[in-house]
Structure 1
């Protein structure tokens, strides 16, 4: 059977089923069960003959909705967290890719500013980038032949825990400064970017750019990325105060705060991963270059996929589902 004929033959049942699900009061359990069985049969048929089509996506959506209504149990609270990370957050974050781009560009620009300033002034790294104590310690480690010794000073677990908590604290500051109409978060990005730029150029001057980069970016790829994303969360909150659209200012601000907190929440698992890498992996400076590069590229791919590619894909699927649903309702 052609897909169009299949849709035409069954669309009335599907719309009726959706109506019953929407009107959650007065649901006849037997009717709902019968329709659910029929819908799942239609879904199986669509998966077989119209794989990856709008019909399959539409039926999958209403079948999932029905499953939640029929088999709603205490497990739903556990699944809520999974749903947040796999569906709710990515769909919401797609709307804030513009703020992500802004924070990334600000961070990238001031990283170059930090590197350029250090190249122009030897004392800049001490006055703005890093503390005297850290610079002196690093120079001593370089003389001892182990420039990355700082990552071996603490025990693995203690370092993992301390770094993770510190990174989460940094993310909270990056978000919290967004209350200053978003400018505070951008300022926070600027300071951290200048520190990063001066830090990397400092090692370049010591002839250790590659050794430092391959070591630091094992954990820094995820760590720096999610700090930028936390800055994006602050910008989202600030934009809620400045650009209200059709909403009252207070309502727009509340929405900005909620969306910003959701973005911030999404970074927690990544900070844990970054802390694990810094505590347990970065210290192994003897690892081969290919393994370090693999970890760095894998971390970068993970961040780009989850925060950029996946939200775009999910948004397109959601759009296709909505258009198909509207088409069915119009032809009814």
Structure 2
């Protein structure tokens, strides 16, 4: 069937969908679910025979809104917070997975730049983190504890101060996405180069493994969250640069809303990282190796599953119960 004929044949039905979603007449969850199944059938057909057309973009957006409406009115789903983390955010991450991929790719590239720069110029790390911090770290290395800085200050004071700073960095990274993503890339660049250069600094002084045992207790969730926040910023920026079939303002509002949800979802991980840094990292030199690895790998697995694995599982679960064309 030609695309024109396909649109003509289903146009009235799609308008009915729009009325059900955006109109004043509300439908119950069962009726919405029925509409959703028909809509997904049309979307699957369009993706198969007109993969690059605007029809696919339109139907995909309509299907996404319909699905969210179903979950917002679903009788058994009463906890808004649970629904937010269990369904909304993972679906947004899946739909915008390319921007998450871009963020992680940039993170690894920028971190490598930090490593290479530090290896070629012995003054580079001082330039990035400052003489005072480098000198203090050198003193700690001489004393046999390269991560002794984490023992300074009280537990709660350190945890709260670190958490607030990381929340500020993440929020800044997301908000600066409004400049087409350039501001977000800059924040990611600065933090990634700092990480790469400082890790090389520890390697250069023969204490890389000791630093890993300490820093990455909290660093897995802290750094991972920063990258995800950068992905949210790129989503925001892309909504301005690539509005597709929407007006630029409508696209920007939608990009901001979705990016904000993704940023908000990182807050529990950022708080957890701050608590680990304030209460656990300081004891890393005295921990048995198995406990170090359990915390590091456990935190990495938890946040990786939520942002990299679960969105695909949820999307597959949804498609599993949708009739194919």
TM-score, length-scaled by structure 2: 0.76
1:292 aligns with 2:292: yes
Aligned partners of 2:230, 2:83: CA distance in 1, in Å? 24
- Counterpart Cα distance in 1 of 2:281 and 2:163: 14
Give the 5 Å matches for 1:134-145.
134-145=133-144
1:243 aligns with 2:251: no
Give the Cα–Cα distance (whole angstroms) in 2 for the partners of residues 126 and 177 of structure 1: 27
Structure 1 residue aligned with 2:264: 265
Please name the residue that 2:301 is paired with.
301
Shift of 1:96: 1.2
In 2, Cα distance between the equivalents of 1:174 and 1:66? Answer: 34
Cα distance, 1:262–1:193 mapped onto 2, change above 3 Å: same
Normalised to the residue count of structure 1, the TM-score between the two structures is 0.75
Alignment CA distance shift 1:282-1:246 (3 Å): same
Distance 1:176 1:65, change over 3 A: closer
Q: In the TM superposition, what whole-angstrom CA distance separates every residue of 1:194-233 from its partner, at most 9, and x where no partner exists?
A: 1000000001111100000111001000000000001011
d(CA) in 2 for partners of 1:272 and 1:148?
20
**How many residue pairs align between the two structures?**
264
Q: 2: distance between equivalents of 1:23 and 1:255? A: 23
Deviation readout 1:228-270 (Å, 9 max, x if unpaired): 0010111000000011111111100100000110010000000
Larger radius of gyration: 1
Alpha-carbon distance in 2 for matches of 1:315, 1:170: 30
Contact 2:114 2:192 in 1 (8 A): yes
Q: Deviations over 1:97-138 (max 9, x none)?
A: 1101101111101111111111111001111x2111100111
Matched residue, 1:187: 186
Deviating more after overlay: 272-281 vs 140-149? 140-149
Taking only aligned residues, the RMSD between alpha carbons, in angstroms, comes to 2.5
Check conservation: 2:239, 2:251, Cα contact below 8 A. Answer: yes
Q: Give unpaired runs (5+ residues) of structure 1.
A: 1-18, 36-61, 328-332
> What is the rounded CA distance, in whole Å, between the counterparts of 2:93 and 2:229 in structure 1?
12
- 1:14-49: per-residue Cα shift (whole Å, max 9, x none)? xxxxx9xx9758x9xxxx9xx9xxxxxxxxxxxxxx
Partner of 2:209: 210
CA distance in 1, matches of 2:74, 2:218: 43
Distance in 2 of aligned mates of 1:149 and 1:66: 51
**Residues 90-109 of structure 1 correspond to what in structure 2 (within 5 A)?**
90-109=90-109
Aligned to 2:221: 222
Alignment pair present for 1:116 and 2:116: yes
Q: Tell me the secondary structure at the aligned position of residue 284 of structure 1.
A: helix
Residue equivalent to 1:255:
254
